[in-house]
Amino acid sequence: MSIRRLAVLGAIVVFLTGTFVLLSLGDAEAQRTAKPVLHGRHWMAITGKPLAATAGAMMFQKGGNAVDAACAMLGATSTMFDALSWGGETQALIYDPNQQKVIGINALGVAPTGATPEFFHEQGMDFPPETGPLAAVTPGTPGGLMVMLAEFGTLSLKEVLAPAMQMADGYPIEEGLANSLERSKALLKGWKYSRETFFPHLGEAREAPRAGEIFRQPYLHDTLQKLVDTEAQALAAGQSRKEAIYAAYNRFYKGDIAEEYVRGSQEGGGLHTLEDLANWQVYIEEPVKTNYKGIDVYKLNTWVQGPVLLQALNILEDFDLKAMGYNSSKYIHTVYQAMNLAYADRDFYYGDPYFPPEEPVNGLLSKAYAKQRATLINPNHNDPTIGPGDPYPFQGGVNPYGHYLDTWNRTTEDQAANWSDEKRQEFEAGFFAGTTAVQAADENGWVVSITPSGGWNPAYIAGRTGIGMSQRMQSFVLDPSINPYNVVEPGKRPRVTLTPSMALKDGKPFLAFSLQGGDSQDQNLLQLFLNVVEFGMNVQQAAEAANITSYQLKSSFGLHEAEPGRLTLNESVPPWVRAELTGMGYRLDFRDRTSGPLQAIYFDRTHGTMWGGASHHGEDYGVAW
């Protein structure tokens, strides 16, 4: 049997009455993986870049906690630019062992002054753009990092930013980013400060850095140095650790850094004002949750797509998934249908809960609503016409936007089937838009899961701040009939795809998990969770396992369209399963790796240790002790 078969299927699989049946080889330990599971007793740090995981390890070695380590990893990944930058957004879940509760961090930027549907329509746009200053919400990651550190960390800002500052001073650039910059140079060179930052060899055949070349970002280094200097001055003046970090925060959002950021944005046609940055704030908030077979699963609220995972779990709870067999045609079909039902609700009802209208989150997460939605699943065939339901009766209300439901704009199978190759490539580029993820945990009980993003290549650099601006405005809509809760408005947060996850069992951490990957994120997270809970996989097996991808949901990027009935499978799925799924109405395509890339930390209460998993799909990497 091939290594691929062992690694992806994770067990001996036999054909019985038209299904996959998972056979245990005495224990899940018999399953082999491309990467070994990571074991730690004292701490664990996992993220999308090896250098950034090292930054987390450095904080633990200084005596910091998981929040300190997570913030250092966030700073390091934000300095590496291909996945995200400092002008992006940060969203996190933190388990605080002192309060014994999960806390949400909302550090997503907002639409700037003047960002209205009328403005973008006047520019001839159906949605806000994908690149440049008009694509940017206010920067959230600096504020998110500093608030997390001030409220829940133990180290100084200087200590936590040290790895990022060393990298900004110069680090050996990775091949992926170096080549991506070269491919994007026609766009990037049109922006003054992006040109200065990314192209040290202007006029040569190759103008971007080469793999392994020292990549320097002096403007960004100066910005980070200002934050550290402000902290030092506040400490010297007798302020507390927390007060000193907030002094740095204020310099970023209300001082000279903000002034240069706004100048740089406006120079390129951006709408940002000083008031936009000064009025923005990080919210420390209550996450939402559901219980799946005795496990409490936590996600951030409807300003991200996170509740879609909870909705899917509610729908699936009454199905005997284990009896169906891992990746049988029946299992794949059932999971696909549950995701479609949940994502249709996401596409219509999710938006910024701090702005009216109020999202019907209680109805969406109602078990009774899930049971009603589950009755719509045809066990024998895909339904490409599934649309949003009506959760309002399940929270004692009347739907104020029910008139949109009957005419809700669906992409039909025929429309998607006739896309050009160019359009399909554009759709996929947005659908799987990458970022990174961060997981950290320590022996004292602190656990952190973060999915930061924004400011990826091609990034517009905001003046001499060195900060790449976000591209998250494109996740808004301009037409309320598409989603009345997510229409662009100054000061409002777009509904984004970013979605950290955490699960508790018996009130204690059970699993922390997240990944990059745009609209596919909660699809992969759902399957990882089921792999662990239903099929007994360890976190590394679950992170590498063969997942499926549905495109029967509106992309949050670019085209904002869907491909009903399209289903991506792992190449290892056998011909009889493929045939059964084709007979159910699916259009199949295949990939050699379909696992995310996923990251997870599992908490072994029996032995008092942590198990780490990082998919072999990308560059995700973990360090533990």
- State residue 5's pLDDT score: 35
Query: What secondary structure, in 3-state letters, does 280-305 show?
Result: CCCEEECCEEEEECCEEEEECCCCEC
pLDDT digits (tens, 9 = 90+) for 394-453: 999 999 999 999 888 778 888 888 888 888 888 887 777 767 899 999 999 999 999 999
User: What stretches of 184-290 show up as alpha helix (H) in DSSP?
Assistant: 185-188, 192-198, 218-236, 241-254, 256-267, 274-279
Which string of b and e fits 16-41 if b means at least 16 CB within 10 Å? eeebbbbeeeeebeebebbbebbebe
Is the pLDDT score of 213 beyond 50? yes
Q: What residues contact 4, with CB distance under 8 A and at least 6 apart?
A: 571, 572, 592
Q: Which of helix, strand or coil describes residue 102?
A: strand
Q: What is the pLDDT of residue 604?
A: 98
pTM of this structure: 0.94
How many other CB atoms are there within 10 angstroms of residue 184's CB atom?
17
Instruction: Indicate the pairing of strand 171-172 with strand 621-624.
Output: unpaired
d(CA 446, CA 625): 15
* Extents of the domains making up the chain: 60-284+446-475, 286-438+495-624
Please tell me the CATH code under which domain 286-438+495-624 is placed.
1.10.246.130
β-partners of residue 237 are: none
| Percent of the residues in the chain that have a pLDDT greater than 90, as a whole number | 87
pLDDT tier for residue 263 given thresholds of 50, 70 and 90: very high
Question: What's the whole-number mean pLDDT along residues 592-621?
Answer: 93
Highest mean pLDDT among 12-26, 336-350, 433-447, 511-525: 336-350
Distance (Å, whole) CA 238 – CA 619: 43
pLDDT of residue 150: 98
Taking CA atoms, 6 is separated from 3, 34, 481, 489, 580, in Å, by 5, 10, 47, 51, 23
d(CA 325, CA 331): 7
Kindly state the percentage of the chain with pLDDT values over 70. 95
Q: What's residue 525's pLDDT?
A: 97
Enter the tokens of residue 68: 């300190």
Q: Which of 139-148, 259-268, 422-431, 497-506 has the lowest mean pLDDT?
A: 422-431
Stretch among 174-183, 218-227, 283-292, 460-469 having the lowest mean pLDDT: 174-183
Amino acid residing at 623: V
Contact 273, 263 (CB under 8 A): no
Buried b (16+ CB within 10 A) or exposed e, 379-412: eeebbbebbbbbbbbbeeeebebeebeeeeebbe
Let me know how long the chain is.
625
* Angle made by CA atoms 370, 373, 377, in degrees to the nearest 5: 125
Banded model confidence at residue 595, pLDDT cuts 50, 70, 90: confident
The sheet that has 295-299: what strands, in order across it? Answer: 38-40, 609-614, 598-604, 508-515, 501-505, 295-299, 288-292
Average pLDDT, the chain: 93
Question: Residue 460: its pLDDT value, please?
Answer: 97
Helix (H, G, I), strand (E, B) or coil at 152: helix
pLDDT of residue 193: 98
Sheet strands (E) in 508-572: 508-515, 549-550, 566-570
Looking at the DSSP assignment, which residues form a beta bridge with residue 461?
468
First to last CA, the chain: 34
- Identify whether the C-beta of residue 615 lies closer than 8 Å to the C-beta of residue 543: yes
> Taking a C-beta distance cutoff of 8 angstroms, is the pair 463, 193 a contact?
yes
Distance CA 365, CA 510 (A): 21
Q: Please tell me the distance from the alpha carbon of residue 267 to that of residue 254, in angstroms, as a whole number.
A: 19
pLDDT score, position 24: 38
Please state the rounded mean pLDDT for residues 136-141: 98
Position 121 scores a pLDDT of 98
Residue 20 has pLDDT above 80, yes or no: no
Q: What is the pLDDT of residue 516?
A: 85
The strand pair at 587-591 and 566-570 is best described as parallel
Report the pLDDT value the prediction gives residue 558, as an integer from 0 to 100.
Answer: 87
Residue 15, pLDDT > 70, answer no
Query: How far apart (Å, rounded) are the C-alpha atoms in residues 612 and 297?
Result: 18
Per-residue model confidence (pLDDT) at position 430: 75
Mean pLDDT within 38-58: 96
Q: In the predicted model, is pLDDT for residue 19 greater than 70?
A: no
Alpha helices by DSSP H, 317-397: 321-324, 329-349, 361-364, 367-374
Q: How far is CA 119 from CA 134, 137, 302, in A?
A: 11, 15, 25
